[in-house]
Amino acid sequence: MKEGFNKEKVGLTDIAHELKVSVSTVSRALNNHPRISKKTKERVRQVAVRLGYFPGIPELMTPDRTDAVAVVVPSIETCVNREIIAGIEKVMEARGYQTLLVNLKGDESQEANFFKTSRNYGISGIIHLNSRRVLPEGFYATIQKEAIPLVTIFDSEYDVKVNRVVPDMFQGVVTMVNHLRANGIKKVTLVLEDENDSFDYHLLSTFGMVLDNSELSDMVLKVNCLGLKNRQFTKEAEALVNEISYDSAIVVKEIDFALEISLTAQKRGVRIPEDFMLIGIGADCVPRSLAAGISILKLPAVEMGMEAARLLLSGLQGQDSSGSTVVTPVNFILKQSAIRVKR
């Protein structure tokens, strides 16, 4: 899988350096010069996409549709996104498709630019891991006009028929909350990235629905949005541990950050789950020896990626599945080390 998109503006020199050719060769290839071989033009085209070189790729260079699909991700730092990508790649490569990874590194302007200019790159289809609760009007207009098959992962408030794969949080959250309540938990701190993140908003809404149940009305939910991906988490972890009590639990997006809280608690002599309960949300990608005491609200990330790839393949084969939604269940995994002995 190829990966790309830098935040810095990319020029011809960057492409030339990547390919170890002259700038003039890159320029001629981008302008469809007859003396440049088709193979070189294709290599330049692929590197231009990977590095995020959008301006200056003329429509003259637009090749016939290739057996390549773009996977657009906000970041590859999280276990969930990496496992989703692995699921996509597994299905697509088995069917002879190359996957081109478009790593936005959190840059929304690059995201919008890609979807406006994607027709220039000869890709067969697109899978978009959406991180935004609200997408601008007409966000997918160019793709839909060009009839490029599209599948989104994670939902948004976007009132257009697109094929999508979404996690079903409800049953997993119900199981988790019932477990916490059975263990005397009355206060839950939910640690998220950003309420405008599509997954975070969906998760928070699900918690609200579950806790509205009259039987759970005695449980208090506190929400902290800490911008986890963009900050050092150590100080936040210390503050969270300082507030814990026997009847409290911390539920945190991303297993890595749950691990940070666990390590901070260990340094303070605070025990999990004896002194408080800790649950991570995401993919189960941390070694068990490190994640002792941490239960998991597990997203079926690999399965989500595979389902998205299957939906995309249906579109590539001309099957009309416009507006289809595939829902994948989220499970609560209670680890042996996280079982609390009642006092």
- 291 within domain boundaries: yes
Instruction: Count the domains in the chain.
Output: 2
Same domain for 142 and 174, yes or no, is no
Q: List pLDDT tens digits, range 27-81.
A: 778 766 777 888 888 888 778 777 766 544 343 344 454 578 889 998 888 889 9
Following DSSP, what letter does each residue of 71-86 receive, concatenated?
A: EEES-S-SHHHHHHHH
pTM: 0.77
- 40 within domain boundaries: no
Could you give the percent of the chain with pLDDT greater than 90? 31
pLDDT at 321: 62
Tokens of 266: 């260990």
Same domain for 7 and 120, yes or no, is yes
- 46 within domain boundaries: no
Same domain for 18 and 140, yes or no, is yes
Same domain for 149 and 228, yes or no, is no
Same domain for 77 and 205, yes or no, is no
CB atoms within 10 A of CB 17: 14
Whether the bond into 329 is cis, omega within 30 of 0: no
Same domain for 96 and 180, yes or no, is no
- 48 within domain boundaries: no
- 343 within domain boundaries: no
pLDDT at 60: 33
- 44 within domain boundaries: no
Same domain for 148 and 243, yes or no, is no
Same domain for 308 and 290, yes or no, is no
> Nearest to residue 46, comparing CAs of 83, 91, 4, 89?
4
Same domain for 162 and 248, yes or no, is no
Q: Which of 62-76, 287-301, 305-319 comes out lowest in average pLDDT?
A: 62-76
- 116 within domain boundaries: yes
- 279 within domain boundaries: yes
Amino acid identity, residue 289?
S
Pairwise pLDDT comparison (14 vs 304), residue with the higher score: 304
Q: List pLDDT tens digits, range 234-268.
A: 788 888 999 999 999 999 988 888 888 999 999 99
Q: List pLDDT tens digits, range 143-159.
A: 888 888 999 998 877 66
Cβ neighbors of 13 (< 8 A, separation 6 or more) are: 23
pLDDT at 56: 40
Same domain for 64 and 156, yes or no, is yes
Distance CA 46, CA 25 (A): 15
Domain that holds residue 27: 2-35+56-166+303-325
Following DSSP, what letter does each residue of 110-145 receive, concatenated?
A: HHHHHHHHGGGGT-SEEEEE--BSSPPTTTTHHHHH
Same domain for 259 and 123, yes or no, is no
> Nearest to residue 194, comparing CAs of 184, 182, 204?
204
Reply yes or no on whether the pLDDT at 276 is more than 50: yes
Q: List pLDDT tens digits, range 97-127.
A: 888 888 888 777 788 888 887 776 678 899 9
Same domain for 296 and 307, yes or no, is no
What is the CATH number for 285?
A: 3.40.50.2300
